[in-house]
Structure 1
């Protein structure tokens, strides 16, 4: 019997670089957010205040991302055999939930303001929104240079990217108010911001939920992977196959593999690990490899190498095992 473990890292950017980019974006957002709250109150603009609230969640998302990165970097110890890597996933879920809660509030306020609009200073809204676009584009560029395979970083990125689009809508509403005096445009812009928040929040909760429920990573079909493994030379059967993510960007796989009686278990294990790494970028594998019994072999002669329990027929390899 052979048991193999493969370990690797799917991050192309160092954690130190990620932290610098996130801190730079945090500084830009925090400074602008404070000014936007003041201008939003003076201008009487719900769109600006909703943008400011969105920026508050941006800052919150970045702070959570930085904390989660520090926690996740701690080495495995005690009962936490994978370390605390899933702190990043909990951060992403909290970011998504925050977006949904704020969206609900601004949907309510947006409808109320649309039905009963108040005075809005269109000029102040337009100027502030244009500056906000510049700030958010700069912050988005900074975070975009970090490792976005992490749901933690992706959560912060999605917050800021959506806010840049929201500022564009707010700028349009400010221009409409300035040129026509139709103040309901401000409420419509806030409703648009809320819709963006719902879209981003739902995506974050969905993706983080898949990791927490140990579903196969998006884009990976366990049935396809099992058939591919069963079709390799010397393999009689693959069963107890599990594919999941330790954290975002860190897929893992475990399986029990039966090989032909004269097959080299260690060679089969190395071949499968290399295949999984090259084709699916699965860097953490645990393969239990055994020789097949006579019963297994007779079954294999009838059906060819199999992936159990899916029982996907595979090609006959003849005498290609060494």
Structure 2
């Protein structure tokens, strides 16, 4: 049921929250996290965690920095995938009075932590590789090659499972980047072992570790930047602030728009809040509905808060 209220002689506020089709009002702000994504992360966690021990043993026996670096990365992956799994499960929890948006943003926080962990691991690999270049040591290429090939198979399987999931989900994307780092580490270890076997040049091990670390750094920075942007309530990548502002101003009955804020709990759940000055003679509630429909239909923004202002509100506005 609608009701009329008066704010002031010159303006009034109309706060409208649209969810889904705009019919009715509910508080399910958290995007649905599919059981499929959760299963994929769990499977990848078991794969990486199970093979990590073999890489540790193989790296120690062979004296390979590339293998040990990859094992350390796999240890981080196991922890990060467990964190991602926890984030998925928290996403199912209902909102509370203290957490009125629920736990959806924990996924973004987990992705941010994953990215920082990747950066730290890459820097550690770079430092260790530089030290090994100055003080080279003997590497047993045979055992190193066997472990590296097995690791590559495991990482390809884990990457394929995650790649088939929702790539717009930052949490799943972070998990996939971790596994990608593992895969690159395995490739580097295989290449290093083959070079050492054919040429005896032990410095191939730290050199290829440097290459793998550089690739990990690139992916980690992208993840930290994207998740950090969401945590800072930046405009979601798929939305153009200027375009939306112009589109709203062009709507019938809209005199002007100001204080337009675009953000989101996650990149997949954009939210908008704005002030709309209603043109003289326009019906406030109709303007409100046009704004709601435009943001929902043209930009897939399902949660909208609109404050109406102007002479059209002198007699009161309708709150839905």
**Same fold judged by TM-score > 0.5?**
yes
Q: Higher RCO, 1 or 2 (CA under 8 Å, sep at least 6)?
A: 2
Contact residue 51 and residue 193 of structure 1 kept, 8 A: no
Question: What are the within-5 Å matches in structure 2 for residues 85-164 of structure 1?
Answer: 85-164=104-183
CA distance in 1, matches of 2:70, 2:298: 42
Runs of 4+ in 1 over 6 A off after TM superposition: 9-13
CA distance in 1, matches of 2:279, 2:257: 12
CA distance in 2, matches of 1:270, 1:50: 57
Give the corresponding residue for 2:103.
84
CA distance in 1, matches of 2:223, 2:286: 40
Number of residue pairs matched by the alignment: 294
Contact residue 166 and residue 196 of structure 1 kept, 8 A: no
CA 1:150 to 1:126, structure 2 compared with 1: closer, same or farther past 3 Å?
Answer: same
Match among 241, 249, 263 for residue 282 of structure 2: 263
CA distance in 1, matches of 2:261, 2:199: 61
Give the corresponding residue for 2:61.
42
Contact residue 11 and residue 147 of structure 1 kept, 8 A: no
Match among 71, 87, 91 for residue 90 of structure 2: 71
Contact residue 30 and residue 102 of structure 2 kept, 8 A: no
Give the corresponding residue for 2:75.
56
Matched residue SS, 1:289: strand
CA distance in 1, matches of 2:271, 2:206: 47
Gaps of 5+ in 1: 295-322
Give the corresponding residue for 2:201.
182
Give the corresponding residue for 2:4.
none
Question: What are the within-5 Å matches in structure 2 for residues 309-320 of structure 1?
Answer: none
Give the corresponding residue for 1:6.
18
CA distance in 1, matches of 2:179, 2:289: 43
CA distance in 1, matches of 2:236, 2:302: 13
CA 1:292 to 1:238, structure 2 compared with 1: closer, same or farther past 3 Å?
Answer: farther
CA distance in 1, matches of 2:275, 2:255: 11
CA 1:11 to 1:135, structure 2 compared with 1: closer, same or farther past 3 Å?
Answer: farther
Give the corresponding residue for 1:310.
none
CA distance in 2, matches of 1:134, 1:292: 68
Match among 229, 234, 241 for residue 253 of structure 2: 234
CA distance in 2, matches of 1:44, 1:10: 51
